[in-house]
Structure 1
Amino acid sequence: MTAITKTTEKIVDGAIRAVGRYGVRKFSMSDVYTEAGVSRGTLYRYFKSKEQVLEAVGEHVERTLHTALDDAVSAQPEPENRLEIVLQALLDYRTTHPEIMRIVESEPSVVLDLLSREFNRLLAVVSDALDPVLRDAPPVRDGTLTKRQLAEMFIRLTLSVYLVPSAGSDATAERVASLWKSMTAAAGSSSGRSRTRAAG
């Protein structure tokens, strides 16, 4: 885990711009310190390689996403609205961090690798934010799915919006929330009917 200082934040911001501009295979350490506006010596004092820089970029994404979710939930803590709030915060991240979206668009393989490495931490962050929704979801109440499994389904559904963008994104949160509620309710009802038939 990279220690967070004003200098490391400045370097990571420069690295994100460099990766978005040149791509993960073509960007160089000189691109990073040029974009960050720091000296070569300052960059190498904190990061010895491109791999370390990319790891710090991944940590930055996780940290800023966590902050976005915390802020959204704190602003509207009502449990009954939690699904829509978390969904909207995840989707709004695209516009509040356009530099990250440039990497998603230009280097999807990098994003997939990052998601693979950081998925468990992302799952923990989103599960915590969605806890009231997960606890009360029919598939969790009736034992069809665990909270972790349901949270993972939610994340994979939401990530598809990032990786396969479409027109009309303003209505995406509402459509995904509606689909999610119908899916979880249907799963719970189906399980309940199965148990009733078995008991009969």
Structure 2
Amino acid sequence: MTYHSHYQEVELNMVYRKTEATEGRKEARRRLILDTATRLFGKHGYHATTVPMIVAEAEVSTGSFYMYFRNKEDLFNWALEELGVAIAKVFDDVKHTQPNALKRIPQGAEALFMFLAENPEQARLLLVESSGLSKRLDATRRAILSGQEEELRKIFESAPTLFSVHNPIVAARCIAGATFEAVYCWLGEDPTTRMPAAKVARAVARFNTRAMEKGPRLSK
């Protein structure tokens, strides 16, 4: 290798490391704004949370905000989409660790309830704040909810002999809806007097099991 080519390689490596470090700082700043906004949206609501509030809390400039997000709706949509990815991972983890389709339903419901209970700001974004804000946010919200319904439908259809289900689509909507509604109600209760999240999660899981498990029919 000539001196000239060696010098070029060193120079390129330095540029690469500098670019990598710069991109890392940019991603860290974007992450800070997103996490701060999620917390504020969950605490104060979408309408009461403003861009000046977000940048002040995150201790970044207004210019930095608009470098990463077009506006408040765009930021909120990013927060929702990230929540959707996290919820999908909850179901994927259950799917990969529980081969029994019958047990996967209640375990999934319990895991989802606990995830949302442990992340109340994000849960409020999905279950409270995102409803009726705009067509874009409604579509993102609907996609998250529909994704869970689709996973449940697949489970029902994968083992029809295990479930007392005549219409997998309707059953999936009922199970998913019951879980999300239970979380919604739990979040709205007084934290000092409400039931522990784990206890409610187990109750929801038991209800889901009894609702769809195939068993002896009661005589009319």
Structure 2 length normalisation: TM-score? 0.66
Which residue does 1:160 correspond to in 2?
A: 181
2:20 matches 1:30: no
Q: Which one-letter code corresponds to 2:68 in the other structure?
A: Y
2:120 to 98, 109, 116: 98
Shift of 1:154: 0.8
Q: Which one-letter code corresponds to 1:87 in the other structure?
A: A
Distance 1:110 1:188 in 2: 42
**Is the CA contact (8 Å cut-off) linking 1:123 and 1:151 kept in structure 2?**
no
Distance 2:113 2:40 in 1: 24
Distance 1:16 1:98 in 2: 10
2:90 matches 1:62: no
Shift of 1:68: 2.2
Counterparts in 2 of 1:99 and 1:49: CA distance versus 1, 3 Å = same
Which residue does 1:44 correspond to in 2?
A: 66
Identity %: 19
Which residue does 2:154 correspond to in 1?
A: 131
Distance 2:88 2:80 in 1: 12
Distance 2:153 2:180 in 1: 16
Worse-superposed segment, 148-157 or 90-99: 90-99
CA RMSD of aligned residues (A): 3.3
Matches within 5 A, 1:138-149: 138-139=164-165, 144-145=166-167, 147-149=168-170
Which residue does 1:82 correspond to in 2?
A: 104
- Structure 2: tracts of 5 or more residues without a match: 1-26, 187-193
Structure 1 segments, 4+ long, off by >4 Å, are 185-190
Shift of 1:35: 3.0
Distance 1:120 1:18 in 2: 23
**1:60-116: CA deviation from partner (whole Å, max 9, x where unpaired):** 221111122222332334434201220121111134323324x46xx9641434795
Distance 1:188 1:31 in 2: 58
Distance 2:199 2:156 in 1: 21
- Structure 1: tracts of 5 or more residues without a match: 195-200
Which residue does 1:181 correspond to in 2?
A: 209
Worse-superposed segment, 173-182 or 89-98: 173-182
Worse-superposed segment, 170-179 or 124-133: 124-133
Counterparts in 2 of 1:97 and 1:108: CA distance versus 1, 3 Å = closer
1:20 to 30, 42, 49: 42
Matched length: 180
Distance 1:187 1:179 in 2: 14
Indicate the SS of the match to 1:167: coil
Q: Which one-letter code corresponds to 2:131 in the other structure?
A: L
**Is the CA contact (8 Å cut-off) linking 2:110 and 2:201 kept in structure 1?**
yes
Which residue does 1:9 correspond to in 2?
A: 31
Counterparts in 2 of 1:123 and 1:46: CA distance versus 1, 3 Å = same
**1:134-187: CA deviation from partner (whole Å, max 9, x where unpaired):** 543222xxxx31x22211111111111122115243222332233233333589
Distance 1:14 1:92 in 2: 22
